[in-house]
């Protein structure tokens, strides 16, 4: 068992190489990147994850329209219900945590930088995203917020181990049920006995679709070291053209996962839980010193 002081890694994860404008080509396999943005006197909506998703698909569309359309419109279905995108991203990691004024739906950003972490099991996804980013240029919009890209860093890959302590990076782990459980919850929390079971089932489904075969080892145990939840503001456009605004409930506490390395790797690359392509379930390693 790991003991000692914990430290979340994303801020200090080894950078394999970094580049800024003008674009420099790359050949290595890329699974995880960090994009640094700068904002000056801007308002940022609480629904910014929706706009980040749009930014990501916009980059992808600029380089590979077919892949972007496939992931955005269809995804990879499992038994006609779940549709996986096989990528995930963090919330925006600012130098100083943002505070939301009471009764408001926007954060105020004066002069700050923020990092966005993106991961995928599909090397082509990350590469086309980067090609699209450099094609569209350094200036960005996240909803009404204007900013620019300062740097793009390719991060050292995380190799799954048979036992790891992980924590969401401003990216709550969401597990939604089709009907409320015995506690009346529609979104599972870490103190629900079926939460770990549902997380494992979700990873097995992702693995079977991605590799077209079952994992050799399906054993996986979750131990939730903290019971902490947070609302996740959700915004999406419905088929009739109207807008839905609501929130999911996600888990933000650290947890220990033990067992199948291939399933843990799938979670690290594609996200734990559901709504990964909406900014949920992106995790990184907590090291104990």
- 44-100 pLDDT, tens per residue? 999 999 999 999 999 999 999 999 998 998 888 877 666 899 999 999 999 888 888
- Contact of 9 with 284, CB cutoff 8 Å: yes
| 145-154, 242-251, 258-267: the lowest-pLDDT one | 242-251
Location of structure tokens 């990873």: 203
Q: What is the mean pLDDT of residues 244-272?
A: 94
Residue whose C-alpha is closest to residue 119's, from 144, 156, 163, 89:
89
Q: What is the mean pLDDT of residues 192-221?
A: 94
**Gyration radius of the chain over CA positions:** 18
All domains of the chain, ordered by start, with CATH?
14-155 (3.30.70.1890), 163-288 (3.30.70.1900)
| pLDDT over 90, % of the chain | 60
Phi, then psi, of 50 in degrees rounded to 5: -60, -45
Pairing mode, if any, of strands 106-120 and 93-94? antiparallel
Which pLDDT does position 5 carry in this prediction? 37
Strand partners, 88: 119
Q: What is the mean pLDDT of residues 103-107?
A: 86
Q: What is the mean pLDDT of residues 128-132?
A: 92
Task: Count the residues in the chain.
Answer: 289
pLDDT over 50 at 133, yes or no:
yes
pLDDT in tens, 227-250: 999 989 888 777 777 787 888 999
- Contact of 2 with 165, CB cutoff 8 Å: yes
pLDDT in tens, 166-191: 999 999 999 988 788 878 788 999 99
How distant is the alpha carbon of residue 206 from its chain centre?
Answer: 15
Phi, then psi, of 113 in degrees rounded to 5: -110, 155
- Contact of 142 with 51, CB cutoff 8 Å: yes
The two tokens of residue 151 are 């740097």
| Cα 62 from Cα 136, distance rounded (Å) | 7
pLDDT over 90 at 275, yes or no:
yes
How distant is the alpha carbon of residue 121 from its chain centre?
Answer: 12
Strand partners, 7: 287
Could you give the residue ranges of the DSSP H alpha helices within the chain?
Answer: 48-63, 65-69, 123-136, 195-211, 261-270
| Cα 118 from Cα 59, distance rounded (Å) | 13
pLDDT over 50 at 21, yes or no:
no
The two tokens of residue 103 are 């009764």
Q: How crowded is residue 64: how many other Cβ atoms within 10 Å of its Cβ?
A: 19
Q: What is the dihedral of CA 279, 277, 191, 245, to 10 degrees?
A: 70
How distant is the alpha carbon of residue 27 from its chain centre?
Answer: 24
- Distance (Å) of CA 237 to CA 51, 86, 242: 12, 21, 6
| Cα 91 from Cα 73, distance rounded (Å) | 23
The structure's pTM equals: 0.87
Which pLDDT does position 150 carry in this prediction? 92
Select the more confidently predicted residue: 23 or 82. 82
């Amino acid at each position: 068992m790991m003991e000692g002081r914990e430290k979340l890694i994303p801020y200090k994860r080894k950078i394999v190489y970094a580049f800024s404008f003008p674009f420099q080509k790359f050949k290595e396999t890329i699974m995880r990147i960090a994009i640094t943005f700068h904002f000056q006197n801007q308002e940022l909506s609480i629904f910014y994850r929706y706009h980040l998703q749009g930014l990501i698909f916009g980059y992808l569309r600029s380089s590979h329209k077919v892949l972007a359309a496939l992931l955005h419109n269809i995804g990879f279905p499992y038994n006609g219900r779940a549709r996986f995108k096989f990528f995930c991203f963090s919330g925006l990691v600012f130098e100083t945590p943002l505070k939301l004024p009471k009764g408001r739906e926007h954060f105020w950003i004066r002069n700050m930088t923020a990092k966005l972490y993106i991961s995928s099991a599909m090397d082509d996804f990350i590469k086309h995203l980067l090609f699209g980013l450099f094609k569209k240029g350094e200036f960005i919009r996240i909803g009404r917020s204007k900013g620019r890209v300062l740097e793009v860093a390719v991060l050292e890959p995380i190799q799954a181990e048979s036992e790891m302590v992980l924590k969401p990076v401003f990216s709550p782990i969401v597990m939604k049920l089709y009907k409320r459980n015995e506690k009346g919850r529609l979104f599972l929390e870490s103190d629900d006995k079926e939460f770990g079971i549902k997380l494992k089932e979700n990873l097995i489904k992702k693995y079977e679709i991605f590799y077209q075969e079952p994992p050799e080892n399906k054993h996986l145990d979750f131990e939730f070291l903290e019971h902490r939840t947070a609302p996740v503001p959700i915004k999406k456009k419905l088929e009739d053209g109207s807008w839905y605004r609501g929130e999911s409930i996600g888990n933000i506490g650290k947890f220990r996962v033990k067992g199948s390395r291939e399933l843990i790797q799938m979670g690290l690359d594609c996200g734990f839980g559901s709504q990964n392509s909406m900014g949920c379930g992106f995790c990184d390693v907590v090291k104990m010193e």
